[in-house]
Amino acid sequence: MTVTSLPPVAEALDGAVDLHCHSGPNPFSREFDHAEAARDGERLNMRGILVKSHHHNTVMDLLAMHRELDGIATPIFGGVALNAQVGGLNPYAVAMSLQMGGRAVWFPTFSSRCHCENEHHGFPESDYDIPNRIVDVVDGEGRLLDAAHEVIDLVAEADVLLSAGHLEPAQSALLFAAASERGVRRMILSHPNFVVDADVERCRQLAALGGYIEHEVGMYDPQGFRKWDPGLLMEWIRAIGPDRTVLSSDLGQRGRPMPVDAYMRVGEALLERGLSVAELRQVTQNNAAFLLGLDDERPAPVEGR
């Protein structure tokens, strides 16, 4: 990788943690693999990267790539998403991933009913005909399935990150309430305004239940996916608060930028719009470090703007 000088915003982003990296291998076409993601992270002295696949347990990838990862300063972690490809709400798949060092469990993403019935997500193309089915998490009366409770208990015991995946907002609230009652400390909802369609009031409810709201710099980067106005991201941060907001990349797809570049462009745009350096560090580092288990205690509230 070519070493280039970094803009001033890099100092504010030093030590960032990415909870949503889609590096390969993967059935979807990827721009870079896990080792390349970790080397990219070294540019910001990243404390950690969580790699996510919609199809398989990424801990297996990392164990297989240990020689390539050896000597890279940025540590990289994996987990399992409970889509059809691993059997849906499969406590056995969760237990295996966690015992092998997994740091996250994603409830159904592209196998969720919300995702399958939502036509505006625009997922990347695949070289494979990927079989899929809807994986429901509630019964006909809207109650969490027993298997969901089994997964929650495994997450609580391991004290790792629980993601709502691509569940609809009401189901995410049901999940977070049950998880909080069962002792889960680390919970996150990804891209509320992409696929899952969770409005600000619902996100405030999820935050009150102990959850964090994650936004993706890859969607606000002018060279990224959606190319949304960073001003919209600033509105979200102010509405929910930096103490319950996380910025991740959601990058790795073919043809999209490297995560560090997107972090720097979006981070600079947020600083220009009035986000303080302390707030930027809260949403890119402190909160994510707690959620990934790099810090045991929830970060202290950020001081005034």
Give the pLDDT score at 128.
Answer: 78
Q: What is the rounded CA–CA span in Å between residue 198 and residue 26?
A: 28
For the chain, the helix, strand and coil percentages under 3-state DSSP, each to the nearest 5 = 40, 15, 45
Give the pLDDT score at 34.
Answer: 98
Give the pLDDT score at 129.
Answer: 82
Residue written as tokens 């049950």?
178
- Please give the torsion angle defined by the CA atoms of residues 114, 283, 285 and 104, in that order, rounded to the nearest 10 degrees: -20
Residue written as tokens 């000597």?
71
Give the pLDDT score at 50.
Answer: 98
What DSSP assignment string belongs to 222-277?
A: TTSSS---HHHHHHHHHHH-GGGEEEE--B-BTTSPPHHHHHHHHHHHHHHTT--H
Q: Which domains does the chain have, with CATH numbers?
A: 9-291 (3.20.20.140)
Give the pLDDT score at 1.
Answer: 45
- Cβ contacts of 194 within 8 Å, gap of 6 or more: 121, 216, 219, 226
Model pTM score: 0.95
Instruction: Give the closest residue to 177 by CA, choosing from 203, 202, 210.
Output: 210
CA distances from residue 38 to 70, 103, 119, 167 in whole angstroms, order as listed: 10, 16, 33, 29
- Is there a contact between 76 and 34 (Cβ–Cβ < 8 Å)? yes
Instruction: Give the closest residue to 33 by CA, choosing from 53, 16, 55.
Output: 53
Tens digit of each residue's pLDDT, the chain (305 residues): 445 678 899 999 999 999 999 999 998 889 999 999 999 999 999 999 999 999 999 999 999 999 999 999 999 999 999 999 999 999 999 999 999 999 999 999 999 999 999 876 666 667 778 889 999 999 999 999 999 999 999 999 999 999 999 999 999 999 999 999 999 999 999 999 999 999 999 999 999 999 999 999 999 999 998 999 999 999 999 999 999 999 999 999 999 999 999 999 999 999 999 999 999 999 999 999 999 999 999 999 998 55
